[in-house]
Amino acid sequence: MTRRIGILTGGGDAPGLNAVIRAFVKTAKLRWDWRILGVEDSFNGLFSEPRRVHELDLVSCKGLLHRGGTFLGTTNRGDPFAFPQPDGSKRDITADLVAGFVELGLEGLVVIGGDGTQAIGLRLMRERGIPVVGVPKTIDNDLSATDYTFGFQSAVEVATEALDRLHTTAESHDRVMFLEVMGRDAGHIALSAGIAGGADIILLPEVPWDPERVAAKIRGRQSIGRPFSIVVVAEGALPVGCPTDLDERRKRLKSGGGAAAIAMANIEGRVDAEMRSTVLGHLQRGGSPVAFDRVLATRFGVAAADLVAEHRWGEMVRLSNGHVTSVPIEEAIATYRLVDIDGELVRTARATGIELGG
Ligand code: F6P
């Protein structure tokens, strides 16, 4: 009997999602001629009435490789175990989801998403009997099980280009420019883009930063005839003395107007220079994936098809020491990867004179 597999994208989008879907569908069709159903908007297409799924074939994959976003749609507010209701309450709607899964004749799901989506997939497998294979995704690159997630390099590229642009205007006006980049609680985008974009200062969530050290770096540059400075601020970075608890930290950043605004406010009184701040925001998530992400996404799509072919449900594809392998989803989501503050990349930044503020 022809196998029928569903595929969906969950959580925030990342450049490369469409490339994974394309590679999975191509492999499944060309090698085994399975039927593939693309589920709309994360798990939502399975439980909504009528069901929202598309039959995917080689024709539906045309033109997808370089297209950003996800043509299946996604959401990061759709946990079916606690699905938001119009009155503000939450309801477990997994019985409807299982009904949709059975009605569509599906054998299993390929779940492309970050830690939150993978955790939901694993729970659906364990508690509701829906077999899943995982594909890791996030621009933040904070999943410890994989060397890289696709989308990260594309985000770094956008942030680097933004820094190049800020450089020329900073230099013209002798200004201090703050650029806030994404990454949630990890500083991977800030660190890589900061190094690539020639930042003078990089502020990371992993290093509570001392305003006086940052100000001294800017003043030091002024004193040697470099009156402008570029400061990259990870969205989770806060000065010393601020909360270390993640929820508290997020609350503080939201109420304080964002990490770059907080950084600028802390430096303004200490340095005699004009300052401006820019929040790069979702520009980092939009647009086409760079070549590295297209290749990685394609490798992950093919590897996910191989896992399904071998009935290795409950596993997630990953890149390990340059090779695509797999790991139990449970293990993959157990630890969150922060920037290693004693690692080689941080040493590289420090060795080239970049101030981290701590
Ligand atoms: O996890 C990816 C990410 O882009 C983070 O870097 C960022 O904090 C968050 O998602 C933004 O989420 P939203 O799209 O819901 O604003």
Among 266, 285, 304, where does a domain finish?
A: 285
Asked, for residue 357, whether it belongs to a domain, the answer is: no
Same domain, 62 and 33: yes
Q: What pLDDT sits at residue 143? A: 94
Residue 197 contacts residue 231 (beta carbons within 8 Å): no
Same domain, 8 and 90: yes
Interatomic CA distance for residues 295 and 148, integer angstroms: 12
**Pair of tokens at residue 241:** 């003395």
Same domain, 219 and 298: no
pLDDT above 70 (res 124): yes
**Pair of tokens at residue 228:** 């402008």
Per-residue pLDDT tens digits for 20-40: 999 999 999 999 999 999 999
Same domain, 186 and 225: yes
Interatomic CA distance for residues 3 and 196, integer angstroms: 46
Point out which residues pair with 132 in neighbouring strands.
109
Residue 123 C-alpha from the chain's centroid: 21
Asked, for residue 218, whether it belongs to a domain, the answer is: yes
Asked, for residue 225, whether it belongs to a domain, the answer is: yes
Cα–Cα distances in Å, from 15 out to 21, 138, 276, 357? Answer: 12, 9, 29, 31
Same domain, 123 and 187: no
Same domain, 121 and 20: yes
Asked, for residue 215, whether it belongs to a domain, the answer is: yes
> Residue range 123-142: average pLDDT?
97
Q: In what order do the strands lie in the sheet with 201-203?
A: 201-203, 229-234, 176-181, 275-279
Whichever domain contains 253, its CATH number is 3.40.50.460
* CA–centroid distance, residue 285 to ligand 1 (Å): 9
Same domain, 124 and 178: no
Asked, for residue 224, whether it belongs to a domain, the answer is: yes
Same domain, 46 and 109: yes
Interatomic CA distance for residues 320 and 146, integer angstroms: 6
Per-residue pLDDT tens digits for 210-237: 999 999 999 999 999 999 999 999 999 9
Range of the domain at 208: 153-285
Indicate the number of domains in the chain: 2
Cα–Cα distances in Å, from 185 out to 132, 140, 236, 247? Answer: 27, 9, 5, 10
Interatomic CA distance for residues 186 and 143, integer angstroms: 10
Same domain, 202 and 265: yes
Q: What pLDDT sits at residue 256? A: 65
Whichever domain contains 18, its CATH number is 3.40.50.450
Q: What pLDDT sits at residue 118? A: 97
Residue 35 backbone phi and psi in degrees, to 5: -95, 130
Asked, for residue 358, whether it belongs to a domain, the answer is: no
Residue 340 bears catalytic tag: no
Asked, for residue 343, whether it belongs to a domain, the answer is: no
* CA–centroid distance, residue 12 to ligand 1 (Å): 6
Same domain, 113 and 177: no
| Residue of 140, 142, 200, 293 marked active site | 140
Interatomic CA distance for residues 222 and 70, integer angstroms: 46
Cα–Cα distances in Å, from 42 out to 18, 70, 117, 306? Answer: 14, 10, 9, 22
- Name the residue with the closest Cα to ligand 1, atom 10: 12
Buried b (16+ CB within 10 A) or exposed e, 76-88: eebbbbebeeeee
Same domain, 98 and 175: no
CA Rg value for the chain: 22
| Pocket mutation for ligand 1, best pick of 115, 142, 150, 182 (most atoms within 8 Å of C-beta) | 182
> Residue range 71-82: average pLDDT?
94
| Pocket mutation for ligand 1, best pick of 9, 115, 117, 140 (most atoms within 8 Å of C-beta) | 140
Per-residue pLDDT tens digits for 248-304: 877 777 776 699 999 999 999 999 999 999 999 999 999 999 999 999 999 999 999
> Residue range 183-193: average pLDDT?
97
Among 265, 285, 305, where does a domain finish?
A: 285
Same domain, 141 and 166: no
Among 270, 285, 300, where does a domain finish?
A: 285
- The DSSP secondary-structure symbol of 9 reads E
Asked, for residue 270, whether it belongs to a domain, the answer is: yes
> Residue range 75-82: average pLDDT?
92
Average pLDDT for the chain: 96
Residue 63 contacts residue 78 (beta carbons within 8 Å): no
